[in-house]
Structure 1
Amino acid sequence: MASCLLSVLGFLVLACRAVPQGEDDLDFQRNLPAETVWAVSGEDALLPCDVSAPAGDRINTVFWFKDATGIPLYSLDARGKDLSKATHLATGDELGTRSYFITGGQENDNRGKLKIARVTVRDEGVFRCRVDFFNSPTRNYKVNLTLIEPPGRPLIMDAQGNEVAAAAGPFYEGYDLQMSCHVAGGRPQPMVSWWHEGSLVDNISETTTDNIVVNRLFLATVHRSLRGTQFECRANQEEARPLVKKVVLEVFLKPVTVKIVTPNEMLSAGKSRQLMCESTGSFPPAKVTWLLDGEPLKHAAIMSQDDENSTRSTLILRPDEEDNGKELACRAENPKFRGGIIEDRRYIRVAYPPIPSITLGSAVGVEELKEGDNIQLICEVRANPEVQNIKWYHNNILILRDESSRVVPLNNLTRASSGSYVCVATNQEGTVASIPIHIKVQFAPVCKPGHESIAVGALRHETLTAKCEVLADPGGDSLRFSWTYRKAKDVLPVPGSRVSKQGHVSTIQFTPVSELDFGTLACWATNPIGQQKEPCLVQIVHANVPESPHDCKLHNTTAGRLEVICIPGADGGLPQHFVLLVSESEGLNDQAAPGVKPGLAPLYRVFGSDPKFVLHSLEPGNEYRIQVYAQNAMGVSNPPVVLNGVRVTTAMEKLTRDDNEDPSILSAEYWPSLLLFGVLIGATCIILGVVFLTITVVTCRRRTFPGTVPSPSDLRLNNIDSISEDAKKMRPRSLRSETQIQDEGGGY
């Protein structure tokens, strides 16, 4: 402990001896050349001093002084030891506590360094290093410590004065760029400059009154290549690392290209087609819009795919015929860049089936036509490609076929000209029918088909209703009816009071009293178009039983059905219906219909308004006997049509009752059990029939006048032409009073 104190005391003595004592020493210090060392405030400073000893000598002490102060700031005592093991001693002030001498550096580096930590402005000044040797003269070194005060961090501002952080912009392609870099403080004053990708762009700066250095960057045109590149603002000072602020330019780019890449081929109406459009060069990626004749396609399916600066848009277009020849445009625009719009356009061609429509080439409307008029029907067609042929149909019947038949003349219209007309046009896309045009031809009254001449069976003293039904347009209230009655050789008008009308039907009540009252009634109708040319005839004949059907034919169908079709005979002047009986070929039974040849018991009995029957479930392999006859209020036809040995060759399902079958039809399996019941019913019907026939004969004998009863064949009215000749003689000449007609024996 004592030795340590002695060492310190001795070192202090040496330090005191090192204090300069006169003006010569101060002049020596002033004239000593100085080495300038720059240091940054707040960082460490290294002040060099040569501590290499001459050959054969060694260092005793090293002293550091600041400015003119005679007291060492820092001392190093190496007496009797190596310099690396020397004793270090620093003053106790604030500077001394931050100082430390580094005796040596790297290999072959003889310069020691006084390290001052965290230098401040107060540390600036001239430092002197004194090195004392054992034998050699003392060596002095002078170091001028100059402190650099770093400026504030550079601030980059946009044109609006807002600070820019990491990204500057957005800027717009083709427009100018303005930014400024602001650096506050610093000693010495920093130099502020702009750099782009390592190259100097602008180093001209200015200083404001607030001691702020500003460099304003201005580019007249922003090019596409600047997008994503880096600009730097650097603040440089002597011996100090530059302060740097970096920003990346965000530049909005206009789309460069846009193109509909799908070939411009013919489209088909009603069929979807994909069209693709590509746009490049835009940032952010372009918004692609499809337009048709300048109007956005809002309801079309559009799919878009964006890359870094390209966009692909797919349009699923389903055109119609109205789109043919329209302009389709693909528009690319940067939604962030006003005015950055480009388009690619094309005219689309749409193939579509014909669109025919019919117009009337006449000033008369379709509801105002009448018999004898002449008109033209014109088929107007829109089609792409052109129409190949046109067909005309009247009531679904082809009437004209010609490639150029767009006009159909209809001359001298008749009632048959009425109906629907359709033109059908064909091209490569299809065949299309027009909406039908309905033509209505007004015509004078004519007899309704089937009512030209009818026979009505009657009994004397029994009132019947004679009916006349016509077709006419206009009808309804515009129709007027008149009747005549041909009695023997006279043609008498029927008083209007006897005539009633309802729509297109006129009726009169007629009661034949004598044989002379059986004659012919003629009905005439008139409307605004004209009078009926041929009357409707009603022949009053004696009622009789109907004739038997004839020409019956069998059809054994593949569906397992047996069809029986006959031609009806005369109805005897009364409504008739037809009956078919089916029985087995063997065995006898007396239960045949009245007037029908007795045979086997019927298995089935079928009624119909026409002699057309369909039989089901006849057992294959069995033979059947079929009888067909007609029946009216006077009785049944005799003899019936008999078909023997009818064999069914195909399997059929069990007979099910049809709507026209007799409810009493029984299957063969139930026939034996109910045969007795059928016999009782038949016997009862025969007894009642005999009683009714007896009463009728007695009554008729009291009323009968001499004369012959016409046969059923006389009731047939097949020769309409001969009737028409007679009808012409029956036109009403003059109306006589009802009293006169009754006096002549009329039966009204």
Structure 2
Amino acid sequence: MQAAFVNNILFGRILSSLGNEYDGDLVSFDDVVVLRAVRGRDARLPCGQGKVFLDGPDSYVLWLKNDRDFLYRFPNENSGSRSLSRDRIFGTSCESGSCHDDTSLLLKRVSDQDAGIYRCRVHYQASPSQDYVIDVRLVESPGMPRVYSDSGVLIKQGYVGPLSLGSDLILVCEVDDEQPDTLVYWRRNGVVIERAHEARPGVLRAEVLVRNATRSELDAHYECLAQNADVTEPLTASVVIRMYLPPISVEIRLNQNFNFEAGQPRVVDCVVVGCVPPPSVTWHLGDNLLRPSVHKELHDGNYTVSSLTLAPSLRDNEHKLVCRAHNSHLPDEVFEDEVTLNVGYRPLCLTSREETVGAVQREAETLTCIVEASPEPIQFSWTFADSKTLYTSVKKVPGYHHRYSSTLTWLPREGDFGLLYCRATNSFGEQKKPCTYSITSGGPPQSPDCGILRSYPHTVRVECQKRWDGGRPQIIHLELFGSEGGLLHNVSNSAGHFHLSDVDEDNNLTAILYSSNNRGRSSSKTMYLQTASTLNASAITEHPVVTLKGQWLQALAGLLTIIVIVALVGVCLGMRSKHEDSDSPDLVLRSDGVFHREPDFEREERLLRTTNITVNQLAACQNATDLNDNECLWDNLIRTAFNDLPQGVYTEEQLFSHFTRKWDGILQQYASSPVPSCRVLVGCGSRLPQQDTCPASQHSYFV
């Protein structure tokens, strides 16, 4: 460095010349060092060839001039001043940002009276004292260095450039000086790189050539120095190299974690290194320019950091996130880095509620855990109440993009009862909220809650709500019994919804309902259903049946039985005799009393020509030919008589008179009711096929 350079060039001279003014007793020629100082500038005299180390608290350094004048002691009591002559002589201190040895002597603004012999005496505590003698001689200051460009232009602003990579640079330094001992040289960042030569008489010149400039030239400090003294700082002229540089690197820093959880904000840094001047940074996601809510840029010397808070959605999966650095002085170059986003989320349980599972010890139990996740889970884990954990494989649920399942089959034991947790894990982490199952003791199901209703005749509808299934799929069973105890229907299904048709209008329908699974059946529930009233012929509305007191019902039943038997026996015997005398069973009585033959055709042909004709209900009884067929007349008598009977208490004579009038009206209506001249395929008798029955309000005739 500079001190080594000075020591090698100047400090090696030992007393090249001394006068006879010193006595031999005071100093010898071999002990005196001659040092030059520039008149009018500061000079610093060192004590010895290097730093002096004091060996104890009683050690000290004394500076004397001409062995008579005491100048400075270190250390001293008045350490704040460190000088006897404050205006001219100082001990040592930090000057202009650089600290020197406290044992050196600083001479401010050297004048002719400062020339002479100086002695530095070091008093050691454990060894003999040692003296260092310096002969200070004064010289004139050299000329001020001047720096020129290769074109000969004087550089005054203190910098050159900006340069670009690969360019060349020439710096020229000139100093006007005729002193033979003056040195002119170049330093780069404190290192001597070039010495001057005499360009012409009285002018020293030194050149620096920089070829194919690299990044190392950025902010390089070039100094031209002119020096002709040993203890006085040289005169300098310096320039700094400025450059325009592209980035060395543009990097999106994700710490090798390219997973972005959908909707979760994450801070992403883009670091641009080596771009001069500092660049502007933009972010792009796919084809979109991002306008982040949080965006900051930090410029720290060679680094530019742009931070982006990003919360991507699943639509951004596999899109490219680009960080682009823009150097305004290099518009034709693109500097960017890009990463491909992997957007997803941790597994989520498909159901948020706790599911109850009925298990039986040593009986195989199977559970399926379904989650939504992106990407696909790596594994499923099942943790039992006793902290035992099992791992199962992953299966994709067909028809869904992000739905996956895993099935666990195990033999329950006593420690398994309690809560069972199912968790899935993918590259984004483990499922935070597990799917929860409550493992309880299983068995037969509980009885269902059912309701029975009858919206119109011959139809029963049953709606059941299932209860606890006992841990296995359950089936709802319905058994429907008539008033005499006969089984009418025995049906079952898993939904618990039943719609039963062709149910006779018994007074007391009994329904038995229960649930079952492969572990057994529940207790039965019995429900009763009373008959619904027959619908009126003119409108499908249900009329309430008039109920009398028990004693009047018994009397009425006995009376009506006698009357009906007597009346109907005579009518039916007459009709039977006519039917038996007929040679052709296909002859049907017309309304005008004349028989006609019905053509032969199949039932399917009839159905093709079906037409519905609404007529009086008694028309269905027009073709009755035997006693059983006249049950239709009996039904009409009972229905109309009860419907027209006001609520109250009646005598036997009143009831007999009422039913007699009704019977006469029915017979008259039976004889005079108009019926189409065709065979009626539906009727009330038991002789007709059961499938040809019809509701009371509508009758179908095949013409």
Same fold (TM over 0.5): no
TM-score, scaled relative to structure 2: 0.31
* Larger relative strand fraction: 1
TM-score, scaled relative to structure 1: 0.29
Q: Who wins on radius of gyration, i.e. which is larger?
A: 1
